[in-house]
Amino acid sequence: MTVEIDFGKVFTWIGPIVAFAAVLWFAYTGVSKLRNLFARRGFDERDRDETRRRWREVEQMLRQPGELGRKMAVIEADKLLDQALKSISMPGTTLGERLKFAAYKYPDLREVWWAHRLRNQLAHESSTHLDEGMARKALAQFKRALERLGAL
């Protein structure tokens, strides 16, 4: 007795099975990568101490007379936030990209966008005026963001 195998039928079933297995594999690896990406990465006490030290320097810059101290305080606070987001492995090549991604996990970080845009304006447009009220508002937003991330 000989058994004839219809390879046409076999191949019509193998394709969908392989495709289904590939979809399952990609879904599993994608979910595990997302889970790792969103896993809570925290700051140890040494990191928080360093961030607090640098934040005190930012506050001292704000107290300096003249506009230059205020501008430097906003720019340094922006750098501090960027470093904090890098420390918790937020993806992106710029702070703007990291903020966009971080806003999914920390929706209240959207409030810091105004301060970040102000920093960009200060860094790229030398004629930008920064009064004390705007500087204080920006620093308050940066501080809330750092506290929300657990860096301060």
Name the band, by pLDDT with cuts 50, 70 and 90, for residue 11. Answer: low
Q: Which residue has the tokens 């959207």?
A: 110
Contact predicate 95/117, CB 8 Å: no
pLDDT per residue over 41-99, tens digit each? Answer: 667 788 889 999 999 999 999 999 989 999 999 999 999 999 999 988 899 999 999 99
Residue 44: what pLDDT? 78
Residue 78: closest CA among 40, 41, 124: 124
What would the pLDDT profile of 112-130 be if each residue is shown by its tens digit? 999 999 999 999 998 899 9
CA of 37: how far to CAs of 6, 31, 84, 92, in Å? 47, 10, 15, 12
The full set of domain ranges for the chain reads 1-39, 45-149
pTM for this prediction: 0.71
